[in-house]
Amino acid sequence: MNAVSWDVLLALFLGSFYGAVFGAMPGLTATLALSLFIPFALFMPPEVGLAAIIGLTATAIFAGDMGAVMARIPGTPASAAYTEEIHDLAQERGATYALGISAVFSALGSLVGTGLLVVGSLGMAAVARQFSSFEYFWLVLLGVISGVLGSPHLLKGALAFALGMLLATIGYDPALGNPRFTFGQVNLLGGINFIVALIGLFGLSELLYQALGKEPLLPRPPSSLLRGSFTAYLWEPLRLALRERWLFLRSAFLGTFIGFLPGAGSDFAAWISANLKRTAGGSREQVVLAGTSANNAAVAGTWIPALSLGIPGDTLTAIVLGLFLTLGIRPGPELFSKNLGLVVEIYLVFLLASVLIMPLVGYMGALAAGLATRLPRKVLLGLIAGVSLIGVYAINNNPFDLYVAALLALLGLLLRLGDFPLGQVVLGLVLGPLLEQHLMVSMIKTHWNLLSFFERPVAILLALANLALVGSLLWLRLRQWQRLRALRNLAQPDREG
């Protein structure tokens, strides 16, 4: 593979654009995009097909932010981690600035992830091999704690998270195989599809919220903002990167670490990183910065176990590994000894995707966002409704999913009217099944011995991390309560005077 040849560069650009379209449209996920592309990749030269796949995977996660910016509809589960913040940021500073932060920090996070992919493929993957169900339980519990205690409204956040976990129990028990809460409906045996839930709770509920006339979908930006779009898109986010360089580095390293843990992926990385900064009282820019840096660093991180061990880091790399084997390329330690040139070329394509392709595709999306704000409100709402419904139906080609999405849209509307955070519901849907699965697997194989969760060194470290997180979050809550109490005391008039 020659990373600088014209056919490879063209494949990289077209693959990135293809991934961006699928990532931006709710329901058309990066996994679906890659699955549809694989049959064509088999008939391409290996270097061209791999370049297109790398571009697709590098931009599809980032492109999910476009729907969140424009209409509070995340295109991917990773974007749902900070949808509220990036949409509010677009309302306040303009869509160009919000997309600029997403594109710049996605590119920078991917760059850090690529660097760690280059220098740590063997060493870092060796750590991931030590993880069993016990370590994964504590890791998922870390996300649960940060999600519940990190909500701005503790009680409402906890209730919303519990609701998400309750919805996640519909379908077969992952450990014992018993159907739960299906009410005799065969279509519910597989549970509620996560993408259907995402579109219903965020997308369709937003349309209902707009129909009630609660707030404009997206204000028309001033002409001065459109004229200075390149400055708002690139230079202002770069200045933010300089100011928040330590937060960016922490988020990117955390995202890469979570990414190379098999099965974790960019979704989990985005939720963990964004929730940690949200809990610490970070601004909208800081929460979006943390989430976008982590999820795109995780994309490169998922390739670490895939290349060095032949273990997929997520669904996307599992599909890629299947393509590798079909092409006669065997991932693992032998790949670095027998096909080192191929590995280097993969690194170079990742580098090009991070530095050139992702910002370019993002800027095209920013220009499209500026044009979309000029559309009549009813037209824009109709387009969003059409894309959302098509996305819901296209997932399983099942009309039943449309009814599920409609019910979840009503639920999302009620939650929004009650000021409950929708992100916590989605977090419960993501982490609930993982927590239950790793808990039940651990308990069954140890015959319900709770002490087994504290017998492995890495598990003990993660358990202590959970304890430290609970203590730090409660301390932050106490500090916030004390500050609010002090402000109330200052605001009260001096009755004695």
Domain ranges (residues) in the chain? 6-486
pLDDT of residue 214: 56
Is residue 225 over pLDDT 50?
A: no
Predicted TM-score (pTM) of the model is 0.66
Is residue 433 over pLDDT 60?
A: yes
The pLDDT tens digits for 14-26 are 888 888 777 776 6
pLDDT of residue 365: 60
pLDDT of residue 411: 92
Is residue 182 over pLDDT 70?
A: yes
The pLDDT tens digits for 325-338 are 667 777 766 677 67
Tell me the angle at which helices 284-301 and 95-128 cross, rounded to the nearest 10 degrees. Answer: 40
pLDDT of residue 410: 92
Average pLDDT over residues 162-181: 83
CA distances in angstroms from 334 to 125, 128, 307, 309, 318, listed in the order given = 15, 19, 10, 9, 18
Of the candidates 471, 475, 431, 433, the one whose C-alpha atom is nearest the C-alpha of residue 139 is 431
* Polymer length of the chain: 497
pLDDT band at 10 (very low <50, low <70, confident <90, very high): confident
Is residue 106 over pLDDT 70?
A: yes
Of the candidates 419, 414, 423, the one whose C-alpha atom is nearest the C-alpha of residue 208 is 414
Is residue 218 over pLDDT 60?
A: no
Share of the chain above pLDDT 70, in %: 78
pLDDT of residue 432: 80
Beta-bridge partners for 179: 172
Is residue 132 over pLDDT 80?
A: no
The pLDDT tens digits for 377-398 are 677 677 778 877 887 887 778 8
Is residue 458 over pLDDT 60?
A: yes
pLDDT band at 88 (very low <50, low <70, confident <90, very high): confident
Looking at per-residue pLDDT, the higher value among 286 and 45 belongs to: 286
Least confident of 123-132, 262-271, 439-448: 123-132
pLDDT of residue 227: 45
